[in-house]
Amino acid sequence: MRTIYLALAALAVIAVLAYISHAVVIQTMPVLNPLNERLSVNVPGVVELYITALGLTSTSNYTMAMHLLKALGVTGAVRSLPTLAALHAHEERLASLMAKLEGVYEDTLSQVLMGNVSGARYLAVEGLILDSEAYGELNTVTNLLTTIYPNATGQVTSMAAAMRVRLISINETLIKILYSPITTNMTIMAIPNIVFVGGSVTVFGRLTTSNGTAISNATITIYVDGVPTGSAITNSTGYYIVNVTVPPIYKPILPIKALYNPRQRVSTSQHKP
């Protein structure tokens, strides 16, 4: 009888140990992230995501492209395969260059519209350098993607072609800004024709580029016989208007000038006091 009790006790101990062992095994099992697992082992899947990032870059969605590339950079496939690591570095640089280029390009056009020729040309040089670097990175990314994943050659080539068209267009525009003459034109009129010391004069006119494009939000300073007497801001169509007081200057004719500082563009109107 005692032997039976001992045998039952031994079975109970074995059962408890088996249960505990089973519980420990369950508690120590890793919880896998299916997406991370896919990105780590599925190289074609990773490459497809790089093609998606290139598509975002080609449509000027640089923020989303950079977010996706940042996520891809920590995957096992990218960290373990030199070819994918190289692709990652070049595509990340491409997206960064394109974002910078678009910003510089827009700033250059803005400076042209404001009549700041020297500023526009300085930015144009910077833009041309970025454009050249982006073009080289695009070629490298295209070659890497089509080598790693030949099945996507058509898709990648189409995206790259669209980006090359954009890069060439920016390049041509920046070259024109850099080498073509850009000037500003400003008109000035003042009323009345006969003025008195202490009297009011209304000065008005318009500021445009040489091709007739209005220059808005530009500061125009008015001088009466060299004395600054007032200023005005051009509106959206390039027009300005300001009332100034005639200073105590006693001359048969008073020159009234309007000065646009970025180009030192001066317009003059003669008035009799």
What are 105-120's pLDDT values in tens digits?
999 988 887 767 788 8
Given CATH 2.60.40.1930, say whether it is the number of domain 184-271. Answer: yes
Q: How far is the CA of 176 from the CAs of 14, 99, 125, 169, in angstroms?
A: 88, 22, 11, 11
Angle at the Cα of 86 from the Cα atoms of 84 and 89, rounded to 5 degrees: 110
- How many CB atoms neighbour CB 90 within 10 A? 20
Looking at residue 140, what is its pLDDT? Answer: 96
List, for residues 189-206, the tens digit of each pLDDT value.
Answer: 988 888 788 888 899 999
Delimit the domains of the chain by residue range.
34-179, 184-271
Q: Distance between CA 208 and CA 267 in Å, rounded? A: 13
Closest to 35 measured CA to CA, from 63, 67, 74: 74
pLDDT-flagged residues of the chain (< 70) = 1-42, 115, 181-182, 261-273
What residue type is assigned to position 129 of the chain? I
Q: 131 Cβ partners below 8 Å, 6+ apart?
A: 101, 167, 170, 171, 174
Looking at residue 182, what is its pLDDT? Answer: 65
Looking at residue 20, what is its pLDDT? Answer: 41
Looking at residue 270, what is its pLDDT? Answer: 52
Closest to 53 measured CA to CA, from 73, 34, 36, 37: 73
Phi, psi of 111 (to 5 degrees): -65, -35
pTM for the model: 0.59
Q: Distance between CA 124 and CA 175 in Å, rounded? A: 7
